[in-house]
Amino acid sequence: MKNLKFMFVGLLILVSACDDSFDPKSEFREQYVLSAVVQGNTKGLNIGVNAYLTKLYDVDGTNPYTNPDDPSIEGALVQILHRNNVYDMIMEKLPGQNERYNSDQIVYSTSFQSPRPGEDVGIRAVLADGTTLSSTIQLPRSLHFELNYPYVRGYTSNIDMSSFGSALTYRWKGSLEELYFPTLTLIYQQKIDGSWVTKRRDIPREILEDGTEVFPEYIYDYEMGFDYSAIDQIVESLGEGLADKSEIKLGSLFFKLTSLERNLANYYSSTNGFLDSYSIRLDEEVYTNISGGLGIFGAALSFEFDLAFDPSYTVSYGYSF
């Protein structure tokens, strides 16, 4: 997953009956919807958080698009709670960003220092009518990676694959309740007009016989492997068409694992169908963890592992070291 971006705008619709034998519409009850995701980092850097506040609405008939009124809520007091600190979220109107209603997008925003792995963070919204919505979550705990081979001098595929396997494999001690998004990126430099320019190339976990590149998706497992043959093909392709392959410098293999804590993992599962034997599927109702209303408050945390290249591996392709 190249970019983990979450925007939740609550739009839950109750429609009218079609006939006497099937009634998809229940009694309408006004409820509010609060949604926000904390995208933390392990470096303690400041992060920005956006929250979206809206309400359920009813329509005549079965077409939800007959509703002309944006259900977003303005003027609420929305706050992030972390380490005994309270951060007020400022309401903004993003011009023309709400395509559904051809209007401004209402968003509540603030910034604060990223919570550490395993820390709690809360959210609270108090509406003008006194209604209070709230939730508290815990960020994913720290993850530490192990490799299938020591790579003392850096990455190389020149190893005993009968003993260590045919893939560069990352392993970690995870949690059954969390969902993971792994990516591997080749960072390198190319000399262009006399200057070294840093570039990136995503690495697939495998390359099929027809040349199709297969990239990782979400997993509940605690390991991810990238075929040596796939890595080698990508590395070799960097020098294609170059008369002087020394104009390429290999930097590192950058592994990034984004972990979704259990609430966000459950929400993702409920809106994306079955993932595997551990997934949670709620067909009748989207997952919610908001007290006093509906919505999702979740967190994602990314962990990184940088692996340099073995000099002999780099030289074997004719690249600079």
Q: How do residues 140-195 score in pLDDT, each as one tens digit?
A: 999 999 999 999 999 999 999 999 999 999 999 999 999 999 999 999 999 999 99
Segment 209-248, tens digit of pLDDT:
999 999 999 999 999 999 999 999 999 999 999 999 999 9
Q: Determine the Cα–Cα distance for residues 108 and 52; give it in Å rounded to an integer.
A: 6
Q: Are 81 and 220 contained in the same domain?
A: no
Same domain for 156 and 133, yes or no, is no
Domain annotation covers residue 299: no
Q: Cα 286 vs. chain centroid, distance in angstroms?
A: 18
**Residue 4: pLDDT band by 50, 70, 90 thresholds?**
very low
Tell me what pLDDT residue 80 has.
Answer: 98
Average pLDDT for the chain: 88
Question: What's the confidence (pLDDT) of residue 232?
Answer: 98
Structure tokens at 82: 């972390």
Q: Provide the residue count of the chain.
A: 321
Would you state the pLDDT for residue 19?
40
Instruction: Report pTM.
Output: 0.84
pLDDT of amino acid 107: 97
CB 311 within 8 A of CB 321: yes
Domain boundary among 139, 165, 188: 139
Q: If pLDDT is split at 50, 70 and 90, which confidence band does 98 have?
A: confident
Residues 151 and 244 in one domain: yes
pLDDT score at 70? 87
Q: Are residues 97 and 166 in the same domain?
A: no
Final residue before a domain boundary, out of 86, 121, 139: 139
Domain count, the chain: 2
* pLDDT tops 70 at residue 312: yes
149 and 232 co-located in one domain: yes
- Residue span of the structural domain in which 238 resides: 145-259+304-316
CB atoms under 10 Å from CB of 96, counted, come to 10
Determine the pLDDT at residue 196. Answer: 97
Q: Final residue of a domain: which of 95, 123, 139?
A: 139
| Residues forming beta bridges with residue 300, ordered by sequence position | 39, 260
Query: What are the pLDDT digits (tens) for 236-284?
Result: 999 999 999 999 999 999 999 999 999 999 998 887 754 443 333 334 4
Contact call for residues 186 and 235 (beta carbons, < 8 A) = yes
Residues 175 and 228 in one domain: yes
In a domain, 10, yes or no: no
Within this chain, do residues 134 and 150 fall inside the same structural domain, yes or no? no
Do residue 88 and residue 130 come from a single domain? yes
Pick from 141, 84, 81: nearest CA to 116: 141
Looking at the fold, whether 167 and 311 belong to one and the same domain comes out as yes
**CA–CA distance, 110 with 235 (Å, rounded to integer):** 41
Taking alpha carbons only, the member of 55, 66, 54 closest to residue 15 is: 66
Predicted confidence at residue 6, as pLDDT, reads 41
pLDDT value at 91 more than 70 = yes
